[in-house]
Structures are given as C-alpha cells and as structure tokens.
Copies of this chain bind each other. A is one copy, B any other.
Amino acid sequence: MTTPISERLDDLDEARDSGRRKMDWAIQHMPICGALREQFEADQPFAGERIGMAMHVEAKTAVLAEILAVGGAEVAITGCNPLSTHDDVSAALDAVDGITSYAERGVDDEEYYEAIEAVIGHKPTITVDDGMDLVAAIHEDYPELIDTIIGGAEETTTGVHRLRAMDDDGELDYPVFAVNDTPMKRLFDNVHGTGESSLASIAMTTNLSWAGKTVVVSGYGDCGKGVAKKASGQNADVIVTEVEPRRALEAHMEGYEVKPMAEAAAEGDVFITTTGNRDVIVEEHFEAMQDGVLLANAGHFDVEVDLDALSDLAVDTYEARDGVQTYEMADGRRLNVLAEGRLVNLATPIALGHPVEVMDQSFGVQAVCVRELVENGDDYEAGVHAVPDRLDKEVAEIKLDAEGVDFDSLTDTQAEYMDSWQHGT
C-alpha cells in the first residue's frame, strides 16, 4: 500500500465519478466547510504546508481534505480503519490537485500500517488524526520528523484519551488540538451523529424495528447519551450500563433503567457498546442472552464485544445478511454480530458514517484548528490542547448564519451585570 489508490483501481474513471458525486452531495450539505472553502481559497493560509491525514476516507472527510488543499496545502491521506474507506471517494480525492490518497477498503493489518507510513513519508508539518494512529506512528518510528511538525488535531474521544495518557507520561512531543472535546464536536457529533447514524445503520442492515425493543446501551458518555436518546425516540425501552456513578445516576434520572451488564444481558434485544473500553460484553453475557439478539459497537475500536470468546462458544457461524454474522450456540440460540464488532455506523456494507451536517461541524473545527497552527503554532507547547473558545464559537456562528438562525446578543447593561457582583436580592 505504498502507492496511491489511483494506481491500484480498475475502472478508475468510474470510481472517480462516483466518488466526486458523493463529495458534491456532501459539500451541498456542509455550509461551514463551504464558507471556510471560500475563505481559504482567497487567503491561501496553508501555502507551503504538508498535511498528513489518517481518517475515515469517505465523502465528508474528503471535503475537509479538499478545502485544506484548496487553501494551499499538500495533503497526504489514508484511512484510520480498514473497513471504513470508500474506494471511489479515495480515488476522487487522489485526483484532486495537491492530494495523494493511499486509503483502500479491506486492506490487511500490514497494508494498513504501510499506508500510514506512506503518509508519513510526505514529511507532514501538520497531522490530522481520527484515532491518533499518525501521532503514535511518528512518535514510535519517526521521531526525527517531530522537529518540523507544527502540531496536529485529533478527532475522536478514544484518540484524545490515548493522547492524554501519552501526554501524562511526558511522551507527546508536539501540540495536538483535542477537537473531540470542543462543544462544537462533543455536543453534536457524538450525541446526534453517532446516535442517529448507528440506529439507521442497524435498522437498514437488519430490517428490524426499534418499537418495543429492549436496547442495552453500554456507556453513558456523549455517544451513549445520543444512542440512548435516539433509541428511546424510536420507542425502544433503554437499559444503560455504566462504571461511573454520576453517569449511572444521570441515566437513572433520565428515566432509563441502569443495571450491570450481567443482568442486562438476559433482557436485551439489541446491545450497542459506546464505552471506548474493551471486554464490555464477554462470555458470561453471551451465555445469558436470548435467541436472536443483535450485537453492535459504536465505540472506536472493535474490542468492546469479545468476538474471540463468542467464536469459541459458537457451534456454527454464518453470514445471515450482508453485515450480519450469526453465531449459533449449542442450545440453538443465535447471536447476531453487526459489522464484525467494528463501528456499526461506518463498517456495515451500507453504512455511510456520520451524517453530513454533524461532520461539517467537526471538520469546520478541524479546519480552523489547522489554520490556527499555521498562524499561531508557536504559541502552543507540546501536549494536548483544548481548542481555543474563540475558534469554536467562530464555527458555531458560521453554522447558525448558514441555517438562517438569528439569536440575541447581550446589551452593554447586561454584559456589565454579568460581570459585576455588587447586586443584592
């Protein structure tokens, strides 16, 4: 995988047309990126920069890559998950001036890391990650590049979590923006994006219904909240499992049942994991489940459902539908795993990833973070950095403006009141 995708595909023209059409649809519904594109085209803020990206290569991400290129950058991109790449989009992207794409769907582990190394081979001055694979590979294998790297930006909960651990160990050697943690990402992408797209992907992969189903949601962070809320909004009865007492209480006070997985396992019809942790559903839980349950993961890695243990328990395994692997137990029960335990909103055959509009928000923040690194990179020391509030607000205002939503602003008297404390009852 050390060559761009364009050198590997048959029917390259057809793929590029198809990918381009997907990108056109996406940009039509990405007003933030659209506005930034105009700004970048005029200002050329990224002239002379080399941007390495490891992200899900589908239409929305492609729009981000393209507006960076339009802004003057040389972009090299590959996937951050072997099953999430759309080859046609990868090909269309590779055809854009200033962009090289290595991403291809279905590569094996070795090829996956070769492609990451190919991106690193471009000697990026800025990295844009979804899962910190680029940051990790550079720190482990190419530390010599770090001197010329201005900084990076990281998209996901899991990536930021790992970056902080690395930072705590004193091992993160350039500044990285925690895009995941901004209000503009966290409150929208995780809640609405993961929630809606996971449910739609499950429904359309299985042709099953939510009404009356018992849906077990593991983890009640932003993703879990979104999944629980949207499932409840389709008339499912939701059970939440958690390990943090405040989150457990929050779910309880929202009206959901909260239980240990050991109890929930026997009650659920659908299980959706969102914890970012491993071994959330394991052997003892499989033993307790009912015939016909669905198992889906909406967390970053495919470690939440212990598929090894499930394989060991199964007497037969077959593909019941595209994207549905059925594990048949000795007692006849059938446990149906979606997308091999990978991200269910990205990795089933029909999955499309997050909705376009929520990605527009995340990628808008990504884009202004990259602009910030170019403009003010010297202000940031090595380590994980919160996205400056002014950038996040800028993106919110672009979005509201595009949606035609007007809102109030503080009068001087009000601003003064909020700043003062000399007021009595």
Contacts and interface: CB of A to CB of B under 8 A. Distances in A.
Contacts of A200: 199-200, 203-204
B192 A211 contact: yes
A82 interface: yes
A8 interface: no
Nearest to A403: B252
Contact of A184 (B210, B237, B246): B246
Given A196-B211, A301-B423, A405-B248, A161 B393 contact: no
A24 B319 CA distance: 12
Contacts of A187: 246, 250, 253
A72 interface: no
Given A136-B421, A278-B417, A407 B258 contact: yes
Nearest to A321: B25
A326 to B, nearest CB: 9
Contact of A204 (B204, B261, B406): B204
Given A208-B356, A209-B357, A403-B212, A237 B253 contact: no
Contact of A209 (B211, B254, B277, B356): B356
A28 interface: yes
Nearest to A240: B407
Given A21-B320, A211-B192, A241 B408 contact: yes
A12 interface: no
A29 B355 contact: no
User: By CB atoms of chain B within 10 A, which of A193, A399, A408, A424 has the most?
Assistant: A408
A259 interface: yes
Given A301-B423, A320-B25, A242 B408 contact: yes
Nearest to A171: B421
A196 B183 contact: no
Nearest to A232: B255
Contacts of A162: 420-421, 423
A212 B252 contact: yes
Contacts of A208: 29, 355-357
Contact of A29 (B183, B210, B253, B292): B292
